[in-house]
Chain A
Amino acid sequence: MSKVDKHILLRHHEIPDIANIKTYQADGGFETFRKVVSTKMDPVELKNIVHDSGLRGRGGAGFPTGLKWKFVDDNNWPHYLVVNADESEPGTFKDREIMEKNPWQFFEGIMVSAYAISANDIYIYLRGEFWELAHVLDEQIELMKKEGLLGKNLFGTEYELNIFTHLGAGAYICGEETALLESLEGKMGQPRVRPPFPPAVGLYAKPTVVNNVETLANVSLIVEKGANWYRKFGTEKSAGTKVFSLSGRVKNPGNYELPLGTPFRELIYEHGGGIIDDRPIKGIMAAGASSSIIVADDKALDTPMDYESVPDVGAQLGSASVIILDDTVDMSWLINKTTHFFKHESCGKCTPCREGAFWMTSLTERIRSKKGTMEDVILLEDVAKNIKGKTLCALGEFSTEAVLSAIERFPDDFDAQVNK
């Protein structure tokens, strides 16, 4: 039985040498995978365990993982598992740590998951910047082949499993699952029209599950220890732990794995050590650059970080990339940053995002350069509203979150910038 103390994912905190395959195996590693395959466990049973555990996607949308797996079309073969290791949301750096520090658990998680959806090939799509990491993963895959954990006739059964890494090349949009699939097929990373969703028509038009690294890294332990064990962590609707990437104006930025439902205050002040120079906190972005800016009042600080509670303070938990803003941060400066980001990353496929991101950027530029008027701020708000609800994928929507919340919740910052 694997030892689990406080961490389910960042277990290197307790077992520092866990990146060594021997250490991992000594802790019971790969036993779950071996058991699942060699006893020819019914994939349906596995899907049920994961469904019952309450595990939800850690890539941002929080979609129930087991449910997604159940949508896989069993009348169309082969199936693919694609691991989303694109990790490009500004402020997110958790998947990288999991893969670097606890690689074998990550692998075992994706291997059990592949078996659960009856896939024989796994593609790990890593952002191109993870070039060194990808090469380490490649070596680890070779090692697993030698160990008989990958390849044909695993453990004397019919089951075959292969893992391939695939490097992106610098495009945030490739984190969006259908853009990712396009990219993996050798095309420009532009999102597809949905439906059909990947579990019906995915990679090479075959049923495909796309899941985030963190999501899948939980799976082997969930299968080993059972759905109820996992439900002991977190809240009723947001089960399990979550790796929070804490960044911005805090003393100790970094990844912190905490049960879902932990209040912001604990993350920021206990784990993060509080604000740099002990200045007052001004705002929180819970989902990276794609977030609305939460006004960091007491209510917000006491809000539990889970999928249901964060909307109460006008935001989403998303990928839980918590960016801390203190009183030195001017929100007009901030949205100038985010609009630049989205302008740079808009794939250009749909009109409102392509044109709107550009327009919002030029307006924030004008405001920042003190050439703007209040009318420009109003126009900016209107442009953002006009983008909303009309884009092909969520990137366009994301690009408006910071803008709209900044103007609405921090009007003074704009007042100070414009000519009256």
Chain B
Amino acid sequence: MNALLEKHTKDIEDILKKYPEDQKRSAVMPLLYVAMRENGFVSKQDMYDIAEIIKVSATQVASIVGFYTLYHDKEGGKHRVQVCNDLPCALRGSGEYLEKLCENIGIKVGETTEDGLVSVESVMCLAGCDKAPMFQEQNPDGVFYHEDQTVESTLELIEQWRKQEAK
């Protein structure tokens, strides 16, 4: 039994049950989410472990990690602030919001704060166009929407995360 399976036996079994007996490859995406619970990215070993669980090659798992933008193979901030700056949001000021936000945190788009708490990314449409500016927060626990944002409200949120971290 490999490390990933050992750690999340029950969850992984539940995931595997969703798909037909001979189609376990389908579980690769949910398993990658499980792998990211640890520290927000998929390690090489995770890929080998997943490959073993669903009996595909590690290369096939790596292909999936590379194709989909919500999987990361490198460490980023604990909270990834993924601001939608696609056309509809941009028409409602997401561009300025993103710029100011970065200014305030002191990093550029794509970078992570020194303490590793926050990275800011610019992403494509998140289906929240009527509540722009908005972003989704990706952290090891999942993906969470934050809509109708202002730079101030976002900074406040980041402050909360910082406090939580300090505890």
Residues on A lying within 8 angstroms of B by beta carbon are 87-93, 95-96, 127-132, 135, 164, 166-172, 183-189, 204, 245-249, 253-255, 288-289, 321, 323-325, 329, 334, 337-338, 341, 344-345, 347
Chain B contacts of A93 at CB under 8 A? Answer: 127-130
Q: Chain A interface: which of B5-13, B26-34, B100-108, B153-161?
A: B26-34
- Per a CB cutoff under 8 Å, which of A90, A128, A169, A337 touches B129? A90
A289 to B85, CA, bound (A): 13
- Asked if B48 is at the interface of the complex by the 8 Å CB criterion, the answer is no
Residues of chain B in range 9-40 having any CB-CB distance to chain A below 8 Å: 18-20, 23, 25-30, 32-33
Chain B contacts of A288 at CB under 8 A? Answer: 88, 125
Cβ A184 vs Cβ B26 within 8 A: yes
Could you write out 13 A-B pairs with CB less than 8 Å apart? A92-B129, A93-B130, A128-B68, A128-B143, A129-B126, A131-B143, A169-B71, A170-B70, A170-B123, A187-B64, A189-B67, A247-B91, A249-B92
Chain A contacts of B54 at CB under 8 A? Answer: 186
Cβ B88 vs Cβ A129 within 8 A: no
A50 to B27, CA, bound (A): 33
The number of residues on chain B lying at the interface, defined by a beta carbon within 8 Å of a beta carbon of chain A, is: 42
- Per a CB cutoff under 8 Å, which of A91, A185, A337 touches B23? A185
User: A169-B29, A171-B67 are contacts. A131–B144 as well, Cβ < 8 Å?
Assistant: yes
Cβ B127 vs Cβ A87 within 8 A: yes
- Asked if B136 is at the interface of the complex by the 8 Å CB criterion, the answer is yes
Tell me how far the C-beta of B129 lies from the nearest C-beta in chain A, rounded to whole angstroms. 4
Cβ A183 vs Cβ B29 within 8 A: yes
User: A128-B70, A185-B25 are contacts. A167–B33 as well, Cβ < 8 Å?
Assistant: yes
CB nearest to B22 among chain A residues: A204
Majority SS at the chain B contact face:
mixed
Cβ A132 vs Cβ B68 within 8 A: no
Tell me how far the C-beta of A285 lies from the nearest C-beta in chain B, rounded to whole angstroms. 8
Chain B contacts of A188 at CB under 8 A? Answer: 63-64, 67
Cβ A249 vs Cβ B91 within 8 A: yes
- Asked if B142 is at the interface of the complex by the 8 Å CB criterion, the answer is yes
Chain B contacts of A185 at CB under 8 A? Answer: 23, 25-26
Tell me how far the C-beta of B119 lies from the nearest C-beta in chain A, rounded to whole angstroms. 15
- Per a CB cutoff under 8 Å, which of A245, A289, A345 touches B87? A289
- Per a CB cutoff under 8 Å, which of A87, A90, A128, A345 touches B88? A90
Chain A contacts of B69 at CB under 8 A? Answer: 169-171
Tell me how far the C-beta of A133 lies from the nearest C-beta in chain B, rounded to whole angstroms. 9
Tell me how far the C-beta of A279 lies from the nearest C-beta in chain B, rounded to whole angstroms. 12
- Asked if B109 is at the interface of the complex by the 8 Å CB criterion, the answer is no
- Asked if B3 is at the interface of the complex by the 8 Å CB criterion, the answer is no
- The 3 closest A-B CB pairs, nearest first, are A170-B69, A169-B68, A186-B25
- Per a CB cutoff under 8 Å, which of A130, A324, A341 touches B86? A341
Cβ A337 vs Cβ B25 within 8 A: no
User: A254-B130, A323-B87 are contacts. A131–B142 as well, Cβ < 8 Å?
Assistant: yes
A375 to B154, CA, bound (A): 44
CB nearest to A172 among chain B residues: B124
Chain A contacts of B67 at CB under 8 A? Answer: 171, 188-189, 347
A337 to B63, CA, bound (A): 27
Chain B contacts of A247 at CB under 8 A? Answer: 88, 91-92, 129-130, 132
Cβ A166 vs Cβ B29 within 8 A: yes
- Asked if B90 is at the interface of the complex by the 8 Å CB criterion, the answer is yes
A169 to B70, CA, bound (A): 5
- Per a CB cutoff under 8 Å, which of A87, A88, A170 touches B68? A170
Chain B contacts of A183 at CB under 8 A? Answer: 29
**Best-surrounded residue of A91, A184, A345 (most CB of chain B within 10 A):** A91
Cβ A329 vs Cβ B91 within 8 A: yes
Cβ B18 vs Cβ A164 within 8 A: yes
A253 to B87, CA, bound (A): 14
Cβ A341 vs Cβ B129 within 8 A: no
**Best-surrounded residue of A184, A185, A248, A254 (most CB of chain B within 10 A):** A248
Cβ A337 vs Cβ B30 within 8 A: no
